[in-house]
Amino acid sequence: MIFTVYNDKINQNIVDLQKKIFEIYGESINQIKIDNWVSHGKSIDDILEKMVNPEDVVVIFDIDSIPLNSDIISKSVKWCQENVGFISVAQRAVKLKNPIIHGGPAFMVFSIDTFNKLGRPSFETNLRSDCGAEMTYEARERGIEVRLMYPTSVEREDFILDGNIKFGMGTNYENNIYHAFESRFDKRSHYFINKCETIIKHNG
């Protein structure tokens, strides 16, 4: 299951453009609008709560995140079917004290079997974790593999990820995943819109 969650703060143009990019790369995404929005993590938790088949594989995207090729989703799903562990993009919660580098739900792939082995951690934020970071904490504690993709280019370098590696608005992860960040703010949504329109133009 490939899905994303969003609320009414998101411009409909962003929703439509994400869907078009997935279609270009031969994928379909379930874009779930949450009317009674509490938080990003709670919305993901509510969906995962209903998923109990160990053989199912979950693919989570942010609403302003897209694949950059036709292979990354299928290759990630295959690896997660054959291994205990998860694949994601490297993130760091810069607003938290002593944050770790963790896998973020801008792109995260795992089987329900792996999720069970991790203790089915909540995606809610807490004092040590941004949304989804408990997956990485649990994996480290239990010796379960985490495969992270790192930024290879960034349109606006806002934050330090690790050493000289930065991330921010318009982050390209190894030419596999693009995450615009903070597109719920209209003034910043142009990163996502411009990227999608460029891809559509080149594949028209």
In a domain, 92, yes or no: yes
Both tokens assigned to 93: 């919660």
* Contacts of 164 by beta carbon, 8 Å cutoff, 6+ apart: none
Does residue 61 fall inside a structural domain?
Answer: yes
* C-alpha–C-alpha distance, residues 101 and 94, integer Å: 10
Residue 69 lies in a domain: yes
Asked if 184 contacts 191 with a C-beta cutoff of 8 angstroms, the reply is: no
73, part of any domain: yes
Question: What is the overall mean pLDDT for the chain?
Answer: 93
What is the distance, to the nearest Å, from the Cα of residue 139 to the centroid of all Cα atoms in its chain? 17
Q: What is the pLDDT of residue 202?
A: 87
Domain assignment present for 172: no
186 pLDDT higher than 70: no
Residue-number span of the structural domain to which 37 is assigned: 2-149
How many residues are given for the chain? Answer: 204
The residue type found at 134 is E
* Domain CATH for 92: 3.90.550.40
Asked if residue 161 belongs to a domain, the reply is no
Instruction: Supply the pTM of this predicted model.
Output: 0.94
Average pLDDT on 136-140 reads 96
pLDDT at 194 over 70: yes
pLDDT of the residue at 103:
96
pLDDT band at 185 (very low <50, low <70, confident <90, very high): low
**Count of domains for the chain:** 1
Cβ atoms < 10 Å from Cβ of 77: 18
Q: Report the pLDDT value the prediction gives residue 189, as an integer from 0 to 100.
A: 85
pLDDT for residue 182 is more than 90 = no
Q: Is the pLDDT of residue 117 over 80?
A: yes
The verdict on residue 111 lying in a domain is: yes
Is beta strand 101-111 parallel, antiparallel or unpaired with respect to 65-67? Answer: unpaired
3-class DSSP assignment, residue 39: coil
Using DSSP bridges, classify how beta strands 57-61 and 65-67 pair: parallel, antiparallel or unpaired.
unpaired
Does residue 171 sit within a domain?
no
Which residues, 6+ apart, have CB-to-CB distance to 43 below 8 Å?
5, 32, 34, 37
- pLDDT of 142: 97
pLDDT digits (tens, 9 = 90+) for 7-63: 998 999 999 999 999 999 999 999 999 999 989 989 999 999 999 999 999 999 999
Query: Hey, what are 140's tokens?
Result: 């480290």
What does the alpha-carbon distance between residue 139 and residue 133 come to, in Å, rounded to a whole number?
10
- Predicted pLDDT at 34: 94
